[in-house]
Structure 1
Amino acid sequence: MKRVGEVVRTAQGLAIVRAPGDDQPGIGATVLDEQLSAVGRVVDVFGPVSRPYLAVVPDDRSALPGLLGGKLYVR
């Protein structure tokens, strides 16, 4: 399992994740929470190449506020 990053904010129904380095998953990758439950998928990568942000659309938008500050992973 590989760490994707931490959810730093939510905006327009998306979780914005700050990646720890330049090795991030591609668009369409399924992301998991710390309990290995599927949370959503990556829909965009933006920002500086050395430490980009990922936009993740959650599977359940009502759970979006609970993701804030959490760490996300990919297999």
Structure 2
Amino acid sequence: MRRVGEVVRTAQGLAVLRVPDGEDPADIGTMVLDDSLTTVGRVVDVFGPVTHPYVAVTPKDSTALAELLGQSLYAR
């Protein structure tokens, strides 16, 4: 597994993740998991500066966005 980033905010029904410094962002369409390997959602956008990108994740229907704040999410 590789770390996609940490959830820094939620906006318009999406979780916004900050990509760790020096790492490439996950590709659009990548499935995102939490610490317990539960599928949280899918990457739908990569945006921001090239040196410090952000990733937008659309959550699964059962995922509560507020509970994701501050969590690290991963891609398999």
Tell me which interval the TM-score lies in, with the shorter structure as reference length: over 0.9
User: How far off is 1:22 after superposition?
Assistant: 4.0
Q: Is the contact made by 2:18 and 2:55 (CA closer than 8 Å) also made in structure 1? A: yes
1:62-73 maps to which residues of 2 (within 5 A)?
63-73=64-74
Q: Is the contact made by 2:40 and 2:63 (CA closer than 8 Å) also made in structure 1? A: no
Name the one with the larger helix percent: 1
> How many aligned residue pairs are there?
75
Q: Bigger shift: 13-22 or 36-45? A: 13-22
- Identity of matched residues, %: 65
Structure 1: which 4+ aligned runs deviate by more than 3 Å?
none
Tell me, in whole angstroms, the C-alpha distance in 1 between the residues paired with 2:4 and 2:61: 19
Structure 2 unaligned regions, length at least 5: none
**Matched position secondary structure for 1:60:** coil
Aligned position for 2:28: 27
Q: Which amino acid aligns with 2:39?
A: A
Q: Is the contact made by 2:32 and 2:42 (CA closer than 8 Å) also made in structure 1? A: yes
User: How far off is 1:60 after superposition?
Assistant: 2.4
Aligned position for 1:8: 8
Aligned position for 2:42: 41
Aligned position for 1:55: 56
Q: CA RMSD in A?
A: 1.2
